[in-house]
Amino acid sequence: MSLASIAKRFRIDKPQTFRLSAHDPAACNGLSIDKREAKDMLAEGIARLGELQERLYASDRRSVLIVLQAMDAAGKDSLIKHVMSGLNPQGVEVHSFKQPSAEELSHDFLWRIGARLPARGRIGIFNRSHYEEVLTVRVHAEYLARQQLPPDCLGKDIWRKRFDDIRAFERHLARNGTRILKFFLNVSREEQRKRFLDRIEQPAKRWKFSMDDVAERKLWDKYMAAYEDMIRQTSTPEAPWFVVPADRKWFTRLAVAGALVRELEALDLEFPKVKGKALNELKKVERALKEER
């Protein structure tokens, strides 16, 4: 089984029929390999991603935006660490979107996102993103109140309007050369419990744990409903969602790496071709350099 084929089934191409309950967080797509084989397969994917990134950077015409969303302890940070390890840091930027600042709250909800989009030739990775505005803000009504929106911008249809805005925003980016790939790391409630306990029991990991994590865990069902609606409303051909099983980190990394390889290969990235007068000049320089010997 190739790396690219592993990820194929996780892309949501028919969002209108999407049901989160139909996606098993512990699934591994029938793949039965040992840790060494998984490590070797991931290494191949990482190497291929490095090659594709070099073409992206050299062509300087497109950009790639990778969006990661998940519940706490789903493995977003470790995914970035392992899967993106072969990328050239010069062409990659990672942004983690925390609670909005006072300045950010004084603008529309997409303002801070627009300021951090990847330039042409670059890869941008969003660890959480504009989707917090239809997830965390939707679950916590008090967060919406802090945004100081005028009364006519509120109402029961606010989430439908935000989905409209997000689709339009992403369509605009796609039309201007940005390929958007969005990943929901689908961790189970039981696996999250185990990872929280692991953080508490290991002194080197305790700094990762927050009491807020416990409070958010109590809202699990509300979050799952928000995620399901979000994916239904915003998985589009130009900006698809991938719902990736996250209970087994080794498989999560393989699936995401496979999806990235598959989607970047579809862009048909090529190195710029040197021809005509420029090529003639290069050949003159080549001859001169060889004659120096």
CATH number of 107's domain: 3.40.50.300
**In the predicted model, what is the mean pLDDT of residues 204-232?**
91
- HSE at residue 213, side-chain half, CA atoms within 13 A, is 19
CA 249 to the chain's CA centroid: 16
Dihedral pair phi/psi, residue 136, rounded to 5°: -60, -45
Taking CA atoms, 239 is separated from 15, 77, 102, in Å, by 12, 22, 29
Q: Which of 5-19, 40-54, 183-197, 214-228 shows the lowest mean pLDDT across its residues?
A: 5-19
Residue 1 has pLDDT above 70, yes or no: no
Stronger pLDDT, 287 or 226, i.e. the higher one:
226
Mind listing the pLDDT tens digit for each residue in 30-44?
777 777 888 899 999
Residue 15 pLDDT exceeds 80: yes
Domain count, the chain: 1
Q: For the residues 270-284, what does the mean pLDDT come to? A: 89
State the Cα–Cα distance between residues 80 and 92, nearest whole angstrom.
Answer: 11
**Using CA atoms, how far apart are residues 51 and 54, in angstroms rounded to an integer?**
5
pLDDT in tens, 233-270: 999 999 999 999 999 999 999 999 999 999 999 999 99
List, in sequence order, every residue forming a beta bridge with 243; answer none if it has no partner. Answer: 184
| Residue range(s) defining the domain that contains residue 241 | 3-291
Separation CA 180–CA 124 (nearest Å): 10
Q: What are the φ/ψ torsions at residue 266 (nearest 5 degrees)?
A: -70, -15
Residues 126-133 have a mean pLDDT of 97
Residue 5: exposure state from Cβ atoms within 10 A (0-12, 13-18, ≥19): exposed
The DSSP call for residue 204 is G
80 vs 214, more confident? 80
Encoded tokens for 55: 């073409």
* pLDDT computed for residue 207 by the predictor: 83
pLDDT mean over 274-288: 89
Query: Residue 275 has what pLDDT?
Result: 84
